A = this chain, B = another copy of it.
Amino acid sequence: MVQVIPPRSAAAIELKAGQHLKVIDPEGEQVADLLALNRHDMAEVLSSGRTLDYQETIYLTRGDILWSNRSRQMLAILEDTVGRHDFLLTPCSADTFRIIYGHAHPHRGCQGNLHAALAPYGVAAEGLPACFNVFMNVPVDAQTGRLKVLPPLSKPGDHVLFRAEMDLLVGLTACSAEQSNNYRFKPIHYQVLD
């Protein structure tokens, strides 16, 4: 059954080890920030730094593993119809909208939405690490290091399929930042599959 995450919101998803999570971009050019925590010990979280080190790439795709801060495997990427996602940047937040966009009354962003979705599980806002930003398109200039946030390469119906390598609590958003989703707020769909 397909679940819908409305624009500019987030969902909390429980996954048992071995279950699959399919993240779908129904309209194209939308980003979904994905956070994962050990369901039985929330101090174990997704780690960008560990993952980039072990997988030796900044662009993770089919065949790659997402690792935790304890250097254990959390999620495997089994399918990927896009091939470009970001694991460098933290979720958009009120601070992001204030500093990058100059908003005087900023939206709480994916950071605030993730916190609201995960708070019932006891996850603290400040403990949220960098997310795996599904469909987010952040090219890097190899010489200068300059990065840009460009519209996602995802077309309507594109998806990424993950397998949980341990029991997980996952936070997943329909991203709130204009630069990330080409200035139109869209939903994200997902399915939990055995």
Q: Are A71 and B95 in contact (CB under 8 A)?
A: yes
**Residue among B57, B70, B146, B147 making CB contact with A147, cutoff 8 Å:** B57
Contact with B along A80-95 (1 / 0, CB 8 A): 0000000011100101
A75 at the interface (CB under 8 A from B): no
Which residues from B are CB-within-8-Å of A47? 90
How many residues of chain A get a CB closer than 8 Å to chain B's CBs?
37
Q: Chain copies in the assembly?
A: 2
A54 at the interface (CB under 8 A from B): yes
**Residue among B49, B70, B100 making CB contact with A53, cutoff 8 Å:** B100
Q: Are A141 and B144 in contact (CB under 8 A)?
A: no
Q: Are A88 and B52 in contact (CB under 8 A)?
A: yes
Give A residues with C-beta under 8 Å from B. 43, 47-50, 52-54, 56-60, 69-71, 88-90, 93, 95-96, 98-100, 126, 129-130, 139-142, 144-148
